[in-house]
């Protein structure tokens, strides 16, 4: 039986970390008009959350966060995650930390963003700055850690989720790349251990790539509170179409 979070987050009436895992669909368009068109398509799938991978937008400038108002009009009251992912963790944002933080601060200043995703590996000073700004605007902070080359051991993964909590995360996320099925089991076991060690915030975990698909489908049973599914396009390897994911979930008790 799934172990829910002890203190779920309620964001725009959506419960994150409750009795059921949620589905988040990313927006990954490279141009503004395509982004809005993608959002219109994605809303037809009725996701629980939407993530704007702003690093996919070519030449993003702080003024482009004005698109958030248009996105909000399209997605209604669905919670929106703003992500400007570092290239060190699979993203397309600048390597320089300063423009990434500038874009994140601009998004936090928007009433249309509910959650910001920031890399735990950016360093304590940067994490503290983003956390303070999120708190200032009443937004939620998702601290994430990604490894696109391998799967560390169970204790390392668990410790990363615990560290995110210790650094002030409202949601902690880890994504790793498996070499085999045993690595997927390592990720799932680490997630369950983290759920028991830090039961009071929502967790997100996944094994990426084709081998890790099982973690996206059944991760909720091990303590992962959100899974990412493909709408029009995937933002990470192994994401499956949202219709297929929900078809499988309907078969489960």
Residue 140 token pair: 């939620």
Pick the catalytic residue from 139, 146, 160, 165: 146
Asked if 190 contacts 158 with a C-beta cutoff of 8 angstroms, the reply is yes
Active site residue 146: yes
- Which of helix, strand or coil describes residue 233? coil
End-to-end CA distance of the chain: 10
Q: Residue 217 CB: number of other CB atoms within 10 A?
A: 18
Residue 63 neighbours by CB distance under 10 Å = 8
Which residues lie closer than 8 Å to 207 by C-beta, 6 or more apart?
A: 151, 175, 176, 177, 178, 183, 184, 187, 188, 214, 215, 216, 238
Question: CB within 8 A of 253, min separation 6: which ones?
Answer: none
Q: Which helix (H) or strand (E) holds 161?
A: helix 154-166
Out of 112, 139, 165, 173, the active site residue is 173
Provide the 10 A C-beta neighbour count for residue 66. Answer: 13
Q: Let me know if 173 is a catalytic residue.
A: yes
Alpha helices in 4-82 (DSSP H): 32-43, 67-75
| Catalytic residue positions, numbered | 146, 173
């Amino acid at each position: 039986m799934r172990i829910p979070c002890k203190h779920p987050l309620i964001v725009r009436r959506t419960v994150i970390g409750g009795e059921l895992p949620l589905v988040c669909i990313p927006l990954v368009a490279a141009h503004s008009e395509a982004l809005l068109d993608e959002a219109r398509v994605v809303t037809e799938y009725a996701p629980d959350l939407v993530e704007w991978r702003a690093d996919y937008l070519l030449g993003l400038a702080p003024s482009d966060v004005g698109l958030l108002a248009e996105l909000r009009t399209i997605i209604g009251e669905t919670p929106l995650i703003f992500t400007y992912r570092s290239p060190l963790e699979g993203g397309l944002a600048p390597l320089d930390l300063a423009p990434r933080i500038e874009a994140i601060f601009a998004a936090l200043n928007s009433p249309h963003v509910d959650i910001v995703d920031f890399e735990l590996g950016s360093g304590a000073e940067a994490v503290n700055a983003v956390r303070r700004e999120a708190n200032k605007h009443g937004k939620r902070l998702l601290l994430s850690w990604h490894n696109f080359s391998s799967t560390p051991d169970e204790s390392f993964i668990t410790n990363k989720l615990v560290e995110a909590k210790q650094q002030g995360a409202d949601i902690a996320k880890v994504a790793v790349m498996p070499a085999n099925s045993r690595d997927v089991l390592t990720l799932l076991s680490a997630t369950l251990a983290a759920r028991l060690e830090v039961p009071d915030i929502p967790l997100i975990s996944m094994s990426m790539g084709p081998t890790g698909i099982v973690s996206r489908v059944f991760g909720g049973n091990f303590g992962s509170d959100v899974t990412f599914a493909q709408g029009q396009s995937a933002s990470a390897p192994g994401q499956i179409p949202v219709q297929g994911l929900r078809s499988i979930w309907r078969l489960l008790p």
